[in-house]
Every structure is written in C-alpha cells, then in structure tokens.
Amino acid sequence: MEIKDRYAPSPTGLQHIGGVRTALFNYLFAHSAGGTFVLRLEDTDRTRFDEAFVKNLYDTFRWLGIQWDEGPDIGGPSAPYIQSERFSLYRQYAEKLLETGKGYRCFCSAQRLEAVRKAQEEARSSETGYDRHCRSLPPEEAARRAAAGEPYVIRLKIPLKETTRFNDRLLGDIEWKNEDINPDPVLLKSDGFPTYHLANVVDDHLMGITHVLRAQEWLPSTPLHVILYRSFGWEPPIFCHLPMVMGQDGKKLSKRHGATSIDEFRRQGYLPEALLNYVALLGASYEEGKDMYTLQELSVRFSLEKLNKAPAVFDYKKLEWYNGQYIRMKRDEELAALALPYAVEKNLFGADMTEDQRTAFVHAMPLIKERVSFLHEIPDKVAYLFSEPPVPAAAEFIPKKSNLPKTVELLTLGRGLIEALAVFSDADAEAFIKAEAEKAGVKLGDLMMPLRVALTGSRVSPPLFGSIRILGAKRCLDRIDHALASLRGV
Ligand code: GLU
Ligand code: ZN
C-alpha cells in the first residue's frame, strides 16, 4: 500500500511541542515508507483564525527543516489544501448524506436548543446534547422548508443502540457505544460552513490519506469519524493516536511547565536539530543506547512499532542536554554565525564589529563550546575577549596558601611568558609553562591562577592558552600591567 499521511493543524495558535511532534511523526512515517506527507490547513473555525498563525506555521517548519510533499504552499494533486477554499465540496458531501438518509436537516433555533439544554440540566437528565427533534421529520417536508428559505443545519444520523468498533494501531481494538457519542452532531452549519468532523473526514478520504497519526485528545472524536466514513460508504484510514506528552508532574504539558511554543524555544537559543531530536523521542524508542539522531537517521528508523503506549514525559533538562550536544557539534564559523545576533544584542563589539572582532569571535567558539547549553550564553562567556574586564579584588589573584607579594612575583613571572604563549599551540604552551614553573620552583596552578585572573577577570574562565592567542601578546601584557599596578597599590 502506498502510504499517505498528513499534518492537519488549525491555525488558531502558535505551533507548539505537541503539534510539532505530530507533524514530525507523520513526516517520519511517510519517509520511512517511501510515502507522501501532506500539510492541510484546517481553518474552518474562522473566529479563532489568524493569518499570523499561518505564518508561524510556515516559519516554524522551515526553521526545523521539515518539508511536506503536498501542501498549500507547494500544491499537489489534491489541491487546494486549505479547507476554507474547499467549502463547496463539504456542502456537496453533506447533501449526499441527505440523499442516502444518513444525515438530516435540523431546523431547530438556537433558542430551542438552549431550552432543551436547560431542561436537561434541571431534570438532571442522563441525556445530554441535542434531543434528535428533527431526526424523524419526513425528508420531503424538510426539503420543502429548506426550499422556502428556512435556515437549517445538516446533522449526522448516528445509528442508535449500536456499538462502533475500530482498531487503533497503537491502542488496539476500541469499542464505543453509540449512545456515548454526542447525539447527531452537526456536519454543516446554517451558514454553509462545515464543522471540523465533516471537513476532516471528507478531506482525508478525498486526499487518499491512508494513516491518521494524531494526538490522543482526538480519540473521542474517532468513533464519530468512523461512523461518518461508513455513512459515506468509505473505508476509514488506519488510525494511530499518539502517546500523550506530559510535564514532569504527570499533567498534560502546558505553559505552566515552561516553554511550549516553538517560537519561545527558538528565542531561548535552542537549535532546531536539538528540538527535533528530542521531540522524535517523545513517545517512541529507536535504538538502545543511541541518543543522537539526525532527521535522516530517524526517517530510516521510524515505524509505528517504535511507538510507546505510555505517555511521554517532557524533560526540559534532557532537551537542554541535547542542545549542548548539538552546539558542540557545530563548526566554529557556523556556531559563531548562530550566536552573533545574541552578541550584537549584548553590544559585545561596540557600535560596529571590526573584521578582527569577527575573527576573534569565531576563534573563541572552541573555547566555550563545551561550556554552554544555549546560544544566548555565549556572549557573556566570551565578553572578556572584546572589552577590558574589571580588575578583580587582590584576594581573587592570590593562590591558596600564598600571599600578595608572592602573587605579584608569580604574575611577573607569567608576564615574561606571554610572548611565547601567544604563538604556541595548546600542547606546546602547556609543555612550556610546565617547564617554566618547574624551573622557577612554583606549582603550575599557582603560576596560572594570577595570570588567568589578570587576563580574563575571573578565576574560572574558558581555556587560558586559547584566550591568550586570541587576545594577542600586546593586550595580554596591558592587562597584566594593569593588574600588577592594582596589586601593588594595595
Ligand atoms: N485540525 C485538527 C487539529 O487541529 C486535526 C486533528 C486531526 O489530525 O484529525 O489538531
Ligand atoms: Zn432540530
């Protein structure tokens, strides 16, 4: 069977982790099987529609590097892929159900429906929802009233006293008593707009969707969809409801837990590779002992058998770990380019970035790669390379069990090594300074500490030799002189 699946978002909000997980799994499933992945915009809810959400959808997936094979922006054999451009189709199909008696016109006014609801509530009736008032209207009478201009909706005639059965690829056989389905739901509203259920089912059928992989919150709608397929005489697609995504507290992942919209993650300096890699693991397991996957590797490995039944727990710490891993894998130029906007925002380079500053920024990347989990942490970590760090208090310079005069001596000794250190490779620099420390009869750490504090402004810093090379001998000597003057002034 040629596999075709889809991501069918409603543009009523920003793209978030749950939606991206659904899109990614559909993408991976289609790719793993040489099938087709479709994007369809379900914009039937015009009150909550916003063009900005459509833009956000495109931006998000472009950034993540997920591309569909058919969709509103690229077209395809089932175009259009935007439901609001397909409205006449839905009416046509709803009317087919009138012809076959699987659907009926309902003329009930909003007031009548409200009165029914109130009465049910007051009677604490076990019956809720529509009372099927128009279900038994003779079709000819209904057609007459419609022709006379009376407004109506088209409802699905749910077979009474039956049980609807279907198979979910992940959850197994599912049975749903029809009496537990919302009675005779509206398919076509009086203004001619379809409801989600009608548009979704008609489109999945017409677009030849073979597999519906979607969030578990849609499971309660599925019996209704199955009845709708059968009412049309169509074979339902294979359903697979994806495991829930929870926060650490076992509640459905939401804003209370932290960032959920992809925009927010993006602003916080997450890399698309890290997000994709992590999201791909939300509810699926691939290979024992392997954490890092490219989109390509996932496409090869994904199958519905890899899905877990148990809910996935979203672990922000784990995502952070992934981000650090992907930062480490970046080439220096690429990482520098990604971090640059954050550095400019922090005004790291003054008014205009010089060519030397650009080069220094690139060279600084290997020094900090191992020490950050986020792009936005980078500017602070390398700031000492671009502007003079404040000279710390004398105590900061003094190694353990040492004192001020000895520290001045150590720093003076270090000063004499700068010219050489500024040109040596890491390995040569290390051998050289070790030998010099031995010659002078001081501990290596005691020689390095005051030097580090003078050059970086801190006892804890990125690697010293690399920093010296980037700063160059002249700036190092200036900083040391500055520090010595300050120490001598104590
Ligand atoms: N438009 C629905 C949504 O926003 C689609 C649900 C489905 O995949 O069937 O999630
Ligand atoms: Zn009615």
- Give CATH 1.10.10.350 domain extents, the chain: 394-488
Ligand 1 pocket test, pick from 16, 54, 200, 205 with the greatest ligand atom count within 8 Å of Cβ, gives 200
Pocket of ligand 1 (CB under 6 A): 8-10, 42, 200, 214, 218
Counting ligands in written order, the one closest to the CA of 107 is: 2
Q: Which residue's alpha carbon is nearest to atom 10 within ligand 1?
A: 9
- Give CATH 3.90.800.10 domain extents, the chain: 86-242
Output the CA 196–ligand 1 centroid distance in Å.
8
Counting ligands in written order, the one closest to the CA of 153 is: 2
Among the atoms of ligand 1, which is closest to the Cα of residue 204? 9
Backbone angles phi, psi at 408, to 5 degrees: -60, -40
CATH topology of domain 331-385: Helicase, Ruva Protein; domain 3 (1.10.8)
∠ CA 187-191-197, rounded to 5°: 20
CB atoms within 10 A of CB 185: 20
Among the atoms of ligand 1, which is closest to the Cα of residue 200? 9
Q: Which residue's alpha carbon is nearest to atom 6 within ligand 1?
A: 8
Cis peptide bond upstream of 236, omega within 30: no
Describe the crossing of helices 444-456 and 464-488 by its angle, rounded to 10 degrees. 80
∠ CA 234-238-241, rounded to 5°: 130
- Give CATH 1.10.8 domain extents, the chain: 331-385
Counting ligands in written order, the one closest to the CA of 216 is: 1
First-to-last CA distance in the chain?
82
Ligand 1 pocket test, pick from 6, 214, 245 with the greatest ligand atom count within 8 Å of Cβ, gives 214
**Structure confidence by residue, pLDDT tens digits, 409-464:** 999 999 999 999 999 999 999 999 999 999 999 999 999 999 999 999 999 999 99
Output the CA 40–ligand 1 centroid distance in Å.
9
d(CA 376, CA 380): 8
d(CA 77, CA 40): 13
Q: Which residue's alpha carbon is nearest to atom 5 within ligand 1?
A: 8
Q: Which residue's alpha carbon is nearest to atom 8 within ligand 1?
A: 214
Task: Give the helix/strand (H/E) hosting 48.
Answer: none
Put simply, whether the predicted model's pTM sits higher than 0.95 gets the answer no
Mind listing the pLDDT tens digit of every residue in the chain (490 residues)?
899 999 999 999 999 999 999 999 999 999 999 999 999 999 998 888 899 999 999 999 999 999 999 999 999 999 999 999 999 999 999 999 999 999 999 999 999 999 999 999 999 988 889 999 999 999 999 999 999 999 999 999 999 999 999 999 999 999 999 999 999 999 999 999 999 999 999 999 999 999 999 999 999 999 999 999 999 999 999 999 999 999 999 999 998 898 899 999 998 889 999 999 999 999 999 999 999 999 999 999 999 999 999 999 999 999 999 999 999 999 999 999 999 999 999 999 988 999 999 999 999 999 999 999 999 999 999 999 999 999 999 999 999 999 999 999 999 999 999 999 999 999 999 999 999 999 999 999 999 999 999 999 999 999 999 999 999 999 999 999 999 999 999 8
Among the atoms of ligand 1, which is closest to the Cα of residue 221? 9
**Catalytic positions:** 255
Backbone angles phi, psi at 241, to 5 degrees: -90, 125
d(CA 157, CA 132): 9
DSSP state of 137: S
Describe the crossing of helices 17-32 and 51-64 by its angle, rounded to 10 degrees. 50
Q: How many CA atoms lie within 13 A of 411 on its CB side?
A: 32
- Does the domain spanning 255-328 belong to CATH 3.40.190.10? no
Output the CA 236–ligand 1 centroid distance in Å.
16
Strands 4-7 and 36-39: parallel
Counting ligands in written order, the one closest to the CA of 43 is: 1
Backbone angles phi, psi at 319, to 5 degrees: -60, -40
- Give CATH 1.10.1160.10 domain extents, the chain: 255-328
∠ CA 134-139-145, rounded to 5°: 75
Predicted local confidence at residue 268, as pLDDT: 86
CATH topology of domain 394-488: Arc Repressor Mutant, subunit A (1.10.10)
Q: How buried is 338 (Cβ within 10 angstroms: 0-12 exposed, 13-18 middle, 19+ buried)?
A: middle
Among the atoms of ligand 1, which is closest to the Cα of residue 12? 4
Q: Which CATH architecture has domain 86-242?
A: Alpha-Beta Complex (3.90)
Q: How far is CA 55 from CA 14, 25, 51, 245, in A?
A: 9, 22, 6, 25
Output the CA 285–ligand 2 centroid distance in Å.
49
Output the CA 133–ligand 2 centroid distance in Å.
5
Among the atoms of ligand 1, which is closest to the Cα of residue 19? 10
